[in-house]
Structure formats: structure tokens, C-alpha cells
Amino acid sequence: MKPVPHATSLRRAPVQRRSAERLTRILDACAGLLDEVGYDALSTRAVAQRAGVPIGSVYRFFGNKRQMVDALAQRNLERFSERVTQRLREADDGGWREAMDAVLDEYLEMKRTAPGFSLVDFGNQIPVGARQAEPNHRVADRLTELLSGYLEREPDEELRRVFLIAVETADTLVHLAFRVAPDGDEKIIEEMREMLRAYLARVLD
């Protein structure tokens, strides 16, 4: 069973498998509709219809569409973490460079293919155009947790600050790349990789 979103985004966490599967359908429907109609036109009723569940099932989990989208963002972060972890489990011991490529490659793949991700990602674009700091701090915390053992570094404030700077830099440049080209301008993405490599080499080598 897939991990459920963080409890703070839910009115009630699912306990039984049937309830968890219903929550998954609701979030899948939310993601698909975000791509089709955007956040402003998204409604809990439309999500319920797309998911094939009663409207009461949506409100059992979420008080409004913002909470539903927040839960989708949290699920995105969980799935991203799973993908990075699996990638590193299968990788050779390439140190921080291999870890950086895994993080960037999996993020870009989700940006290009995961329903709703281009609008929501980890929560920093809802309402549309908003660029809140909290999700990037959450991503930096998660990367510190995931990568500290792989890098054989203490998960301390110094490492967290390094990842936060890298996440903020990548966030800005990825947004630029996807404004320039629908699938992300490859030249901008490569410049971003080189910039991050230079920064991380200075602080991690």
C-alpha cells in the first residue's frame, strides 16, 4: 500500500485498505483535473465525480480543495523520496555527484510526467504564482534525511543549509527552464547542473 499523505493535511487518516484506496482515487482525480482545468476551476464535486466516490467521501478527508491539493503535494514528496531512494539503492557508490543526478533526474521526470505535478509539485505554487518558502524547507529536510547516510555525513544544520541552498537554486532555474520550453529547456537545465556541481563540490568534497 502506498504511504498516505501526512496526517496534518487530512481530517481523518484512512485505516482500512478500502478507505486508503478511496483516498488514492480522490488524489489521482485531483491531480488529473489540475492538469485539465487548473486550480481556480477545481472543485471538490468534480473530484468526487472523477474519482467515482460520494462527495461526502471527499469531505471525510478534506475540508476544502486547498487541503486536498496540500495532500497531493505531500504525496508527491513521498513518491519523489521513494524514487530517489530506489535510484540510490541501485546505483554504484558515486558519492554526492550520483546523488545529485538522482535527485534532479527524478524531479524532472515527475515534472514532465506526473499528473498535476507541474502545477503543484511539493506545494509551492498554490495559489497559482505563489512561491512560498515552506515546501523548499520541507524538501531540504527530506534530502538531508535521505542522503546523509549515503554521503556518510552527519545530518546536521550545515548539511541541511547546503541542501536548502541547492533546492532553492534548482527550484528557480527549473521554473525558468519550464517557462522557456514545455518539457524544460535542456540548455538551462544543463547550466543548472553545472552550477550545482560547482557549489556542491566546494562544500561537500
The pTM (predicted TM-score) of the whole model is 0.86
CATH of range 73-204; options 1.10.357.10, 3.40.250.10, 3.30.9.10, 1.10.3720.10:
1.10.357.10
CA 84 – CA 170 distance, rounded (Å) = 16
Whether 7-66 shares its CATH topology with 73-204 is answered no
* Residue that is written with C-alpha cell 485505516 in the block: 15
CB count within 10 Å of CB 117 equals 22
Domain boundaries, the chain: 7-66, 73-204
CATH 1.10.540.10 fits 7-66, yes or no: no
Say whether 203 sits in a helix, a strand or coil: helix
Residues in the chain: 205
- Going residue by residue through the chain, which has 205 residues, state the pLDDT in tens, using 9 for 90 and above: 344 444 456 666 665 788 889 999 999 999 999 999 999 999 999 999 999 999 999 999 999 999 999 999 999 999 999 999 999 888 777 789 999 999 999 999 999 999 999 888 897 555 555 555 578 888 999 999 999 888 888 899 999 999 999 999 999 999 999 999 999 999 999 999 999 999 999 989 8
Closest-CA residue to 68 (of 102, 90, 45, 92)? 45
